[in-house]
Every structure is written in C-alpha cells, then in structure tokens.
C-alpha cells in the first residue's frame, strides 16, 4: 500500500498532488492546438442537435453535484442554454419536466452511484438523451448513457474526492466551449482565449501546491474549532460548498457554506468574537460586494482567511490572512481556489489524528438509494 501512495502519507494527499497531471490528461486529445478549439469526437451530437437543445438538467450527488453547480454557470455563460441542477436523490421525486430537446447530464466519479443511475434511467424513460461525465469507463452509468465523456483522473481511492472534482470541472469547461462553438454563441477569438487560459491551469495548480506548508499552518490553527463558515458569491459560493463538504467529511468540524449576500438573513447571528471564516473572492464583478460582507463579519469579531486573486489588493487589506490564487479567466477560478480548501481539510484531519482516507460513516461509492 505504501508503494501505491507514491511516498505520500495518504491517498488523499497523493491525489491532491496528482491534479496537474489529471487535468492535463482530461484535456489531452480534446483541444485542437492549431485552432485553439475544443473537439469532442466521443460525443455523437450533430451541430443541429446541439443548436436544438432547449434545456439541460445536471444531476449528481456529493462532490459531483458541486462540480455540476459550476457546470451550470459555465454552460449558461458560454453556450446560452438554460441549465437546472439537481441532487440525484431529489430529482426523480419532483416530477421534472422533460421535452424532446432536453439533455440530461449526469456526473459521477464511480459511475455506480445508485441515485444518479436511477436519475439517468428516469431521464431516458422520459425521452431525454443522457450524457454522462464519469471517471470509470465501463461503469453502469457509462454503459447506460447515450453519450459519455470520461474524466481521465485515474483511480481515486480516498473517500474524499479531489482530483475527480477538478477533472469534472475541466469536462464542463470543454463541454461549455464545445457547445458555444457549435452554436456560435461566442466569438471565435473569445473561445480561443479561454482555451488558452484553460491550458495554463495545470501549471497554476502546481504553483498553489507549492504553498502547501503555509496552508498546513493555517489548518493547524483551526483544528480546535467547533464550527467554521465559508462565504462566497456566484462560482465562489459553489466552491465554498465543496470546501465545506471536504472539511466536514474528514475533520468532523461542523461547517457551513453560505452565499455571502444571504448572511444577514440568518447566519450572521452565529458570528461571534473569534469565529473562523474562509471567504472566497475570485470574481472581479463581485469583489466589492465581498469586501462589504467581510467587513460585516469582521465587525462581529470574525477572523477571516481570504482566498483571492493575486491582484485583489482591496480584499487583501480587508482580511486577517490571505491565500493567493494566480490570475485566470473568472470562469476557471474554481479549479484553482478549491486547491487550498482541499489542503485545509486534509491537514486539519491529519492534525486531529483522523483516518483521512477512510472517514467514519462514509463510503467511496454509495450503491444503495
Ligand atoms: C460518495 C463519496 C463522494 C462522492 C459521492 C458521489 O458520497 O464519498 O466523494 O462525491 O459519493 O459519488 P460519484 O461516484 O457518483 O461521483
């Protein structure tokens, strides 16, 4: 087992560090370098079919659901197709409305999650075509879907998902750009610029991993906390949910992710002297609003770690500590800002002496509904 961990103490840490490679693998063969365009030959979708898609449902569980939340933003922004997102165990029981031109995208690392598989079958029964984003070729979900996009993350052993999540994000970027190309909903030059930024992500992730020691120090500082809060807006909110889930899963510290603007409608009552808050701010059009939310929690005594873009000086001044993210296209920032959150969860769990790779009560793949 030690050999399989490649010298890392745990599978989770190994998988976190594998992300530059898993992102590269997931992009490989799907980018036309000369044209700086996305190609997805594995999808059997004609340009007419893509142009005709009226609505997309994204359905998944756990971390894959959080990736789907980013996918919704990406597809709506780039391809201008309305997207609804559902937790798989909720989807079937709310009688979703399918039309002939509805595409259902299911996301599953294992391809075996019972609720996601049941949602896929429900969509097919209702005449929707189904596209699966999965890490396991030959899994039940891959076999039953009409179209399959595999994430090339390699086997993920740790229960807490890391490299599968970031590869799922890459799959959504590729899909969003591909749909936009087919629909001509984006200028070719904007597509090319985004593809270029996408290709920089693996090196940028590597750079963030180089700061693991600072992040470890932060994790040690929160290990005695009973509760934590994550705040963000838009894409940062979606990433906050994933950061909060990671922390809960393996450190057993209760944490809550909140859309920063909703704070004053309830959660602000829980902020008191010394409450630890992690605030994400990677979206330039939301910087100012985030600074004002941070000021609100700090006025009640919160101690805030900001996860922010390198050049966001105003935000740096408003927080107690800051973790810097290299500049990128705003839609791509989730791939970068989730890395410190994965490391925070990992090092907190280690410093508490928990079984990082096999957290209590949880399973890697949930095959019961
Ligand atoms: C379990 C795992 C999570 C995972 C979720 C969905 O809860 O512990 O890490 O995100 O299932 O799994 P899937 O294989 O469908 O992505």
Question: Which residue has the CA at smallest separation from atom 8 of ligand 1?
Answer: 364
Max CA distance (Å), the chain: 58
Looking at residue 181, its pLDDT comes to 96
Q: What is the pTM of this model?
A: 0.97
Predicted local confidence at residue 194, as pLDDT: 97
Active site residue 364: yes
Distance separating alpha carbons of residues 255 and 144, to the nearest angstrom = 36
Residue 164 · residue 153 · CB < 8 Å = yes
Q: Which atom of ligand 1 is nearest to the CA of 164?
A: 16
Cβ-contact 84, 41 below 8 angstroms:
no
Contacts of 60 (CB under 8 A, 6+ apart): 67, 68, 87, 88, 106, 107, 108, 113, 116
> How far, in Å, is the centroid of ligand 1 from the Cα of 229?
23
Give me the catalytic one of 5, 101, 289, 364.
364
Alpha-helical (H) ranges within the chain are 11-17, 19-27, 47-52, 62-79, 88-91, 114-125, 140-144, 163-183, 188-209, 212-222, 235-251, 287-299, 313-318, 333-351
315 is written with which tokens? 């935000």
Question: Could you tell me the distance, in angstroms and rounded to a whole number, from the CA of residue 33 to the centre of ligand 1?
Answer: 33
* Distance from C-alpha of 257 to C-alpha of 260, rounded to nearest angstrom: 9
Give the distance (Å) from ligand 1 centre to CA of residue 64: 7
Report the alpha-carbon distance of residue 134 to residue 112 in Å, rounded.
10
d(CA 146, CA 250): 35
Cβ(231)–Cβ(258) under 8 Å? yes
Quote the ligand 1 centre to 92 CA distance (angstroms): 18
| Cβ partners under 8 Å of residue 102, min gap 6 | 53, 54, 55, 56, 57, 123, 128
Residues in contact with ligand 1 (CB, 6 Å cut-off): 61-64, 108-110, 113, 116, 159, 161, 362, 364-366
| Both tokens assigned to 81 | 């197709």
- Among residues 294, 283, 291, 281, the alpha carbon closest in space to that of 331 is found at 283
Q: ipTM of this predicted complex?
A: 0.98
312/200 Cα distance (integer angstroms): 20
From ligand 1's centre to the CA of 219, what distance in Å? 24
Taking CA atoms only, the protein residue closest to ligand 1 atom 2 is 364
How far apart are the CA of 324 and the centre of ligand 1, in A? 29
Q: Which residue has the tokens 């791939």?
A: 335
At 267 the pLDDT is 87
How confident is the prediction along the chain (369 residues), in pLDDT tens digits per residue?
A: 777 898 999 999 999 999 999 999 999 999 999 999 999 999 989 999 999 999 999 999 999 999 999 999 999 999 999 999 999 999 989 999 998 899 999 999 999 999 999 999 999 999 999 999 999 999 999 999 999 999 999 999 999 999 999 999 999 999 999 999 999 999 999 999 999 999 999 999 999 999 999 999 999 999 999 999 999 999 999 999 999 999 999 999 999 999 999 999 988 899 999 999 999 999 999 999 999 999 999 999 999 999 999 888 888 889 999 999 999 999 999 999 999 999 999 999 999 999 999 999 998 989 888
- Count how many residues are written for the chain: 369
From 11, 63, 135, 162, the mutation candidate for ligand 1 (largest count of ligand atoms within 8 A of CB) is 63
**pLDDT score at 201:** 98
pLDDT at 313: 83
Ligand 1 atom closest to Cα of residue 161: 9
| pLDDT for 158 | 95
* Six token digits for residue 353: 């002496």
Q: Are strands 37-38 and 31-32 parallel, antiparallel or unpaired?
A: antiparallel
pLDDT, residue 2, reads: 72
In terms of DSSP bridges, do strands 227-232 and 254-259 run parallel, antiparallel, or are they unpaired?
parallel
Among residues 201, 183, 199, 204, the alpha carbon closest in space to that of 30 is found at 199
Give the pair of three-digit tokens for residue 325: 């993210």
Start-to-end C-alpha separation, the chain: 31
Which of 109, 117, 166, 368 has the most ligand 1 atoms within 8 A of CB, as the residue to mutate?
109
pLDDT at 128 (0 to 100): 95
């Amino acid at each position: 087992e030690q050999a399989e961990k490649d010298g890392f103490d745990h599978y989770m840490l190994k998988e976190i560090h594998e992300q530059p490679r898993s992102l590269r693998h997931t992009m490989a063969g799907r980018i036309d370098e000369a044209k700086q365009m996305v190609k997805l030959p594995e999808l059997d979708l004609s340009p007419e079919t893509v142009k005709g898609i009226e609505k997309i449902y994204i359905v998944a569980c756990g971390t894959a659901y959080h990736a789907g939340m980013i996918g919704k933003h990406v597809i709506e922004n780039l391809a201008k197709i309305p997207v609804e997102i559902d937790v798989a165990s909720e989807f079937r029981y709310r009688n979703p409305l399918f039309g002939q031109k509805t595409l259902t995208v299911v996301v599953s690392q294992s391809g075996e999650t019972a609720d996601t598989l049941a949602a896929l079958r429900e969509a097919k029964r209702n005449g929707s075509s189904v596209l699966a984003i999965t890490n396991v070729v030959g899994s039940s979900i891959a076999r039953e879907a009409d179209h399959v996009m595999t994430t090339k993350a390699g086997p993920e052993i740790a229960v807490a998902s890391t490299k599968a999540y970031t590869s799922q994000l890459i799959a959504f970027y590729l899909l969003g750009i591909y749909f936009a190309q087919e629909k001509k909903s984006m200028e070719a030059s904007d597509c090319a610029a985004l593809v270029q930024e996408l290709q920089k992500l693996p090196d940028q992730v590597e750079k963030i991993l180089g700061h693991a020691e600072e992040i470890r120090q932060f994790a040690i500082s929160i290990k005695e906390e009973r509760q934590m809060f994550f705040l963000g807006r838009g894409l940062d909110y979606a990433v906050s949910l994933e950061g909060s889930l990671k922390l809960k899963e393996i450190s057993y510290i209760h944490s809550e992710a909140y859309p920063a603007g909703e704070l004053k409608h309830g959660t602000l009552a829980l902020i008191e002297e010394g409450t630890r808050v992690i605030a994400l701010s990677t979206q330039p059009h939301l910087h100012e609003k985030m600074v004002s939310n941070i000021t609100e929690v700090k006025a009640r005594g919160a101690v805030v770690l900001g996860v922010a873009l390198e050049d966001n000086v105003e935000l740096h001044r408003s927080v107690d500590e800051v973790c810097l993210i290299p500049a990128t296209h705003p839609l791509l920032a989730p791939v970068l800002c989730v890395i410190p959150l994965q490391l925070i969860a990992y090092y907190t769990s280690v410093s508490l002496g928990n079984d990082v790779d096999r957290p209590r009560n949880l399973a890697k793949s949930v095959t019961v509904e």
